[in-house]
Amino acid sequence: MKLITALFAIVLPLHAAEQVFFAFDDQNIAWQHNLKLTLETVQKHPANPVLRSGPPGSPDHGHAILYGTVMKQGDTFRMWYLGMHETENKSGQAPGWWRPMCYAESKDGITWTKPELGLVEFNGSRKNNICLIEGDPHSMTRVNDFLSVLYEPEDPDPAKRYKCAYIAHMPFDEVKGGRSKIGPNERRWAAFVTATSADGLKWKCVGDRPANAGGERFEVSSLYRFGDFYCSTGQLISPWSWRADGSDIGRDVLAYRSPDFVTWSKAKALAFARIDQLTTPPIKGRQCHMGAGLWNRGNVMIGLHGMWQDAEQPPPKGENWNYGVRIDLGLVISNDGVHFREPVSGHQIIPRGKEGEWDGIALLQGHAFVNEGDKTMIWYSHWDTGGKLKNMNIGLATLRRDGFGALSRKVSEEEGHFITSAFTAKEIALNVDGLTAESPIHVQLLDHLDHPLEGFEIDLTTNGLKVPLKWSKPLPSGQKIALRVNYPANSAAKIYAVYFND
């Protein structure tokens, strides 16, 4: 245990000064001429699933799902995921139905180990990879669904540098602070619980009540900090959620916020609903499953949402209520950390596998994005909506680094260009492909009124993930400027992202 704690006291520095404008960010790259956006689809790793459920008697037997988080610290990938324990457990953790917070680590993100943490007794032994959560009432420690981990190395209290949020299904009479009268009474309540930790392995609940005590049920699925607030998005459904006019809506994404990670808003924001849910009438059966798995890139949030599709027919007698549900994963983006949108409605960035493949039924997203070398690594998992716990494992998908999508010309015989939002920077770089010596792109700086700045024009012929723009003199310090990128006619250039380092 001491070795694990010491190892993760050292982390790579965060590049908070860098801003990234992705090709699919239609707010920061709003002004376009003769350009089209092409979103990519991931490559699934041939070794999938890379983390499998455990043998009989283990805490993740039959069920290892990334309702969780992956991050890289130092030279080690760390994963928090949920196992499954369906019978009563009387020692070390809350009794009853339980999805324990499990932990794994890897040196390459592909081959994972499940260390014996020695923290929680399970089946008569502490030799397992279950993280410990302490709290009172004890039912707050019972993780039932989505788990999101946030690491803040700058927190002045070392005991709170790891933060997490998860769903606990608590008995009503154990929820201090009460609950809202909105919605019907339920057998159990979806409590939004937060906890803190010094090492990510031993956790303590924040306070003695859920973050949504006094409010409606909330199936929390994310935790991040954006600007002045901590935010948590999650899933709700009618009658606890509704469209702007009060009419019913399927599973959508709502958000809470907190300035201090202790007191959370009672009011919620509608963070995302699929366009299919907002038409009049809505398109039947299309919903957004379990919020979004998110990646905070400093100036922008991107992530994956579950593209839920109801079964075509009611389930056969004796089958689960969700038998026949299918889910692919789509792309979302937010510029304010609250309101999310799809760059291209309905695009499947991680499609489920073909029938009979391990991930062929429904996919689940996590907070599991890492840029490693020339790749963006994304972990996801499989849900057997038939309820048989079949192939409930975790897989890996990859893309070109930050290569979720690219801008290229729509009409080949015509030139194209875009102009970014205004920014300040000391360095600018492009994630670009398709350039040649005969067909460069022309790049120039503009002032905030679109006037060209003298001495800031270059032709670029170099392809790469972060190709620096080398000007003849330093960029104007503190001045708001914009970047114009010109594609000549017949250019094959594809631009995935623009980076500004201040």
Q: What are phi and psi of 7, to 5 degrees?
A: -60, -40
CATH 1.10.1380.10 is the classification of domain 41-402 = no
451: Cβ contacts below 8 Å, ≥ 6 apart: none
Residue 14 confidence (pLDDT): 39
Q: With contact defined as beta carbons under 8 Å apart, do 218 and 291 qualify?
A: no
Q: With contact defined as beta carbons under 8 Å apart, do 214 and 266 qualify?
A: yes
CATH for 16-25+30-38+406-501, among 2.60.120.260, 3.90.1300.10, 1.10.10.10, 3.40.1440.60? 2.60.120.260
Residue positions counted in the chain: 502
Residue 266 confidence (pLDDT): 94
Q: Give the start-to-end residue ranges of the domains of the chain.
A: 16-25+30-38+406-501, 41-402
Residue 87 confidence (pLDDT): 52
DSSP β-bridge partners for residue 220:
234
**159: helix, coil or strand?**
helix
Site of tokens 């993760």 = 8
Structure tokens at 460: 């670029």
**pLDDT by 10-residue block (mean), the chain, 502 residues:** 38 60 98 98 98 95 95 98 70 57 98 98 95 95 93 98 95 87 80 97 97 93 97 95 95 98 96 96 95 97 98 92 96 98 98 97 98 98 93 98 98 97 96 97 96 97 98 94 97 98 91
Neighbouring CB atoms inside 10 A of 426's CB total 11
Ramachandran sector of residue 16 (left: φ over 0; alpha: ψ -120 to 50; beta: rest): alpha
Residue 13, Cβ density class (10 Å: 0-12 exposed, 13-18 middle, ≥19 buried): exposed
Q: With contact defined as beta carbons under 8 Å apart, do 39 and 349 qualify?
A: yes
Q: Do domains 16-25+30-38+406-501 and 41-402 have the same CATH topology?
A: no
Site of tokens 């905070």 = 296
167: Cβ contacts below 8 Å, ≥ 6 apart: 143, 144, 145, 146, 190, 191, 192, 193, 219, 220, 221, 234
C-alpha 200/C-alpha 150 separation (Å) is: 9
Tell which residue, 69, 9, 54, has the closest CA to residue 365.
69
Neighbouring CB atoms inside 10 A of 462's CB total 12
C-alpha 58/C-alpha 85 separation (Å) is: 9
Q: What are phi and psi of 65, to 5 degrees?
A: -125, 145
Q: With contact defined as beta carbons under 8 Å apart, do 421 and 21 qualify?
A: yes
Site of tokens 């009479």 = 173
Q: How far is CA 456 from CA 33, 482, 498, in A?
A: 21, 11, 17
Residue 502 confidence (pLDDT): 87
Residue 472, Cβ density class (10 Å: 0-12 exposed, 13-18 middle, ≥19 buried): exposed
Tell which residue, 455, 368, 439, 343, has the closest CA to residue 78.
368
